[in-house]
Amino acid sequence: MSTIDLTLQIWRQKNSDSLGNFETYTLNGISTDMSFLEMLDVLNEQLTKEGKEPVAFDHDCREGICGQCGSVVNGVAHGPEKEVTLCQLHMRNFKTGDKLVIEPFRSRAFPIKRDLLVDRSAFDRIIQSGGYVSVNTGGVPDGNTIPIPSQVAELAMDAAACIGCGACVASCPNGAAMLFTSAKVSQLALLPQGDSERKKRALAMVETMDKEGFGNCTNHKACEAVCPKAISIRNIARLNREYAKAIFTEG
């Protein structure tokens, strides 16, 4: 088992009203088999022993499916490895002597609550405004009772892979939430269960997205580049079509 020694520069902020600043910590003997969050656990243990406040960060499943974790490591959301969440990023991606600058996801619509914790409830409000199906779909249907071409099912599944972590917003030069919203709109619009509400949904979710203070998309593709679930901007194109169809007929 190999170990590495690191210098960490971490954003510390007491609460959403305080200013916040970077603190520097040294951390020695980190196993390269550890995940990034386990490395932060070790740091927090060390801080607690020294009688200091541990670093607050979000996490839950630690297996890359819940969308709770996420920070910006050396300028890249979820760190240097492609298509993984921060909890699934392993320390073997780093080497002794590396300096890691760890910052919270920053965006006007994501206020910082504490250290690396940000308030992503704006995403929840986008979902609440239309990211659901209100027709009664009954129990689990028998296989193949609702015929869905497998290509369409695949596209819907690709969109449904979005875990809502917010890396897209954090990386977008405009703080736009188009990748997230488009994935949620797509996943439902593609399937027959979501079809009856697709226009209402597109209008409502885009309206909430704009109201929550996200920026305007300029097709930079930074979202797609950092997305841990490789959500494609093809979904954004689909959202644009869905929105245009909806506003011209029901807007």
Partner 1 sequence: MWFINFLKSSIGKKYIMATSGLLLVLFLCTHVFGNGAIYISSKAFQGYADALHSLPMLVFIFSISLLVIILAHVCIGLILFWQNREVSKSRYAVEVDIVQEKNSIAAKTMPYSGLFILLFLLVHISGFTFGPEDVPVSEHVKELFSGFFYGVFYLAGFAALALHLSHGFWSMLQTFGVNHPRFNCLIGTLTYIVPLFFLIAFAGIPLYFMTGLGANY
Residues that bind partner 1 (CB under 8 A): 9, 22, 72, 74-76, 101, 103, 106-109, 171, 173-176, 178, 206-207, 209-210, 213-222, 225-226, 233-234, 236-241, 243-244, 247-248, 251
* Beta-carbon-side half-sphere exposure of residue 78 (alpha carbons within 13 Å): 30
- Considering the rule CB under 6 A, would residue 209 count as an interface residue with ligand FES? no
CB of 195 to ligand FES, least distance (A): 30
Smallest distance, ligand HEM to C-beta of residue 29, A: 48
Asked if 59 touches ligand FES (CB under 6 A), the answer is yes
Beta bridge partners of 92: none
**13 touching ligand FES, by CB under 6 A:** no
Instruction: Specify which residues 99 forms β-bridges with.
Output: 7
Residue 219 CB, nearest approach to ligand HEM (Å): 6
The three-class DSSP label of residue 202 is: helix
Q: What's the min distance (Å) between Cβ of 85 and ligand FES?
A: 4
For the chain, what percentages of helix, strand and coil (3-state, to nearest 5) are there?
A: 40, 15, 45
DSSP 164-197: ---HHHHH-TT---HHHHHHHHHHHHTSHHHHTT
Which amino acid is it at 89? Answer: L
Question: Which positions from 218 through 237 interact with ligand HEM, judged by CB under 6 A?
Answer: 218-219
Q: Which residues lie near ligand HEM (CB under 6 A)?
A: 218-219
